[in-house]
Amino acid sequence: MTTTTPAPSPAEVERINERARFIRLETVRLISIAKTGHFASTFSCAELMAALYYGVLRLRHGEPDWPDRDRFLLGKGHVAVGLYPLLADWGFLDKDVLDEYTRLGNPLGDHPDMRKVPGVDFSSGSLGHNLSVGLGMAMATRYTGRDYRVFVLLGDGELHEGQNWEAALAAAHHRVGNLIAIVDRNHYCLDGEVDDVNGIGPLADKWRSFGWEALTIDGHDSAVVLSTLRELRDRRDDAAPAVVIAETVKGKGVSFMESEVGWHLGYLDSVDESRVLAELRGA
């Protein structure tokens, strides 16, 4: 991949690291309201979401429906708890709405609903649909004359769903270069290790065999994440679609979550919550 996209500055990288920490801290706060939630899955993609919302996506503050915005689809919708604070930070929803997360009458659920939450480009519930929808959005630019990019964040366990591979075939056939998939390759899903449940490797080679450009990166290295996503964003629309396989650690940032796979879904009591907050704040 050749590009003239400039490298991110140290200040930009530090900003992404700070926003990733913000995502993790807000995730703990919101799950304490809900009493259950997806800590580890959200922590593994914190740098990815921070880079997208503070260094890659073309957005306008307070305008979630701006027609020329870049689209972001959350395939692994169970990490919406980490997305909502970003939408509030962008002025797409009132920050006070976060304080009643998942409570009766509140629009913010465990999975995002595009009909209720401004800034959510497509809903999630049953996984595996967002890459197909993202493909449709990306192809629509050929008929509307708009030039936005479409980014779709997928879990590696989500790749067990066959609809993703149908979308991958179609995207390559039509050379939809403004479609960028990101796989949060944390190697675990609800039922255990992804490749024990149903092997998906060698993952980069598999995507390439479907006609995609495939790049493997460290998903916690903010400088690499920023530069890679920006380079893909700036490619020609008629290039091959691209996928970034981001090698990550489930539960990243909290030692006992990194080593215990059961934190896919859980709740922290007050003692453990204090311990987690101390780790995340570097205390």
218-229 average pLDDT score: 98
CB 191 within 8 A of CB 262: no
Cβ–Cβ contacts within 10 Å for residue 172, how many? 19
pLDDT tens digit sequence for 95-132: 999 999 999 999 999 999 999 999 999 999 889 999 99
2 pLDDT band, cuts 50/70/90, is low
pLDDT at 20: 98
CB 62 within 8 A of CB 152: no
236-247 average pLDDT score: 95
pLDDT at 1: 54
pLDDT at 52: 98
CA 137 to chain centre: 17
For the chain, the helix, strand and coil percentages under 3-state DSSP, each to the nearest 5: 50, 10, 40
Domains, the chain, ordered by start? 10-280 (3.40.50.970)
Burial class for 126, CB neighbours closer than 10 Å (0-12, 13-18, 19+): exposed
264 pLDDT band, cuts 50/70/90, is confident
Angstrom distance (rounded) from CA 253 to CA 276: 9
Indicate the average pLDDT of the chain. 95
Q: Does residue 198 sit in helix, strand or coil?
A: coil
Tell me: pLDDT of 221 over 60. yes
Going edge to edge, which strands form the sheet with 242-247? Answer: 71-74, 150-155, 179-185, 242-247, 213-218
Tell me: pLDDT of 283 over 70. no
Task: Tell me which residue has tokens 């679609």.
Answer: 241
